Amino acid sequence: MSKIFIRSLFTTFLFIASIPSTVLAGDCECPKVTCNETCEIQESISFYTEKCDGGKRTRSCARPSCLALDPLPASCPKNAVSQPVKPETREPASLVAQPKAVETSKAADVKKVAGEVWVERASSNPGASVERIRVRLNDSLFEGDTLETSVSGNLVFEWTNGNEVILPSNSKLVLRQYKHSPDSKKTLLDLIKGQVRSQVKEKLVSQSDSYEVRTPTAVAGVRGTDFVVAYNDNERLVTSVQTLSGAVMVGSRDKAQEVEVKGGETVSYVVNDHSSSVFSDEDVKSFVNQGFMTPVYKISEKDITKLKNTYGEIAMRMVAAEEPAVCSYPTAKFNQCSWTCLNNPSGEKTCRTDMPEVKCVRQRCNANGKWSDQNRLPSSYSIECPSSGSRVEMCDY
């Protein structure tokens, strides 16, 4: 064997060895991540979508959520539950599968949405504390979520107990607490800016039950009513409450000042604005507590009608904006996805993506009623596609 040939062979070996293993294995194949069967049990699976192959393609992958076995085997280290690591390459939040809330149940459902509305919640991805996700129709909301509407955004959501909330444009709201059981009914919303209307249909009988909307300076509590809270922090910090029906208790955050505002009435709690860059936190807290409550005023019938119509128009605009463009073959509504197994042999019970000619394909129904974003899913996602026909539901990204 010549020295030239040996040198060429050795050079080729070094070149191949220098190529990352992920490329050799197929850059768009999902990492195989499983729970430790000895010490853990798989609780659920979450999905994420990201670019691969140098940004030329997209892959959708899954990662399990693992729980330690109870009782934990003696051979397993205590409190050692594996945390599956997602690859470092991340996509914008709008392309990432919306994470499921961790260790909390659903609090509400999105009933209407128009324009840009965003939700921020604790991230389920290692290395990220918060994710910001575009809100879609029929999305679930969870305790701890922060909702923000743009200048064109409007949102209506319904709590699991049937109470309804309307969040108009330029508003920011935190779903601070939601507990609903036979023994406890507690709802707490923090209005950071803008306005929010709450239609509390459920009667709260027990003294321990509560439904409150807080602003940085005041709090409004009810036991079954329809009311609007607005917060303005321009020249002064002003919290305004307008009661459409029922009664609302409105007070300062420390509740040293408190008044009842009945249906057809309005009141404001006013605080002179002081910069926290000049005064200490304790000073600012003192200023807030030294605010004053305006007299309770009657709202004219004309203004009540105007107020109701304003929110009614918001809802009507949102209904029009939601009118779905229907796609065909298969039939789907706007922003729904379909999963179809192409070229699957007749009689197969699963989508045979292990065969080279068989593909599990996902596509989205766009605003023009056309199918778009067609994407072949990795072979490990054969379970997403039925063996025949198509599966249609809200998209997973």
Co-location of 299 and 358 in the same domain: no
CA angle 243, 244, 249 (to 5 degrees): 25
Residues 311 and 369 in one domain: no
382: left (phi over 0), alpha (psi -120 to 50) or beta: alpha
Q: Are residues 16 and 93 in the same domain?
A: yes
User: 273 and 178, same structural domain?
Assistant: yes
298 and 163, same structural domain? yes
Residues 208 and 267 in one domain: yes
Q: What is the CATH number of the domain that holds 172?
A: 2.60.120.1440
> Residue 47 in contact with residue 97, Cβ under 8 Å?
yes
In this structure, are 373 and 304 located in the same domain? no
In the chain, % of residues over pLDDT 70: 70
| Pair 199, 299 in one domain | yes
Final residue of a structural domain among 51, 73, 97:
97
Question: How many domains, in total, are found in the chain?
Answer: 3
Span 260-271, average pLDDT: 94
143 belongs to a structural domain: no
**pLDDT at res. 32:** 75
Asked if the model's pLDDT at residue 394 lies above 60, the reply is yes
* Amino acid making up residue 21: S
**Residue that is last in its domain, among 279, 300, 322:** 322
Kindly state whether residue 103 falls inside one of the protein's structural domains: no
Least confident of 97-111, 113-127, 292-306: 97-111
pLDDT at 257 over 70: yes
On whether both 199 and 318 belong to a single domain, the answer is: yes
In 321-383, beta strands by DSSP E: 336-342, 359-365, 371-376
Average model confidence (pLDDT) across the chain: 77
- 0.75 surpassed by pTM: no
Averaged pLDDT for residues 140-166? 92
Q: Is residue 350 part of a domain?
A: yes
Name the residue range of residue 213's domain.
158-322
Three-state DSSP class for 20? coil
**Residue 388 and residue 251 share a domain:** no
Handedness of CA 317, 321, 324, 325 (dihedral sign): positive
Do residues 311 and 254 share a domain? yes
Domain annotation covers residue 383: yes
Q: Which of 76, 97, 118 corresponds to the end of one domain?
A: 97
pLDDT of residue 36: 76
In terms of domains, do 383 and 298 share one?
A: no
Classify residue 48: in a domain, yes or no.
yes
What's residue 86's pLDDT? 37
From the list 152, 135, 143, 61, the residue with the least C-alpha distance to 98 is 135
331 occurs within a structural domain: no
Name the one residue in this structure whose structure tokens are 């009507």: 316
In a domain, 259, yes or no: yes
Residue 134 lies in a domain: no
Quick: pLDDT tens for 10-62. Answer: 444 444 444 343 333 346 777 777 777 777 766 556 556 666 776 666 666 66
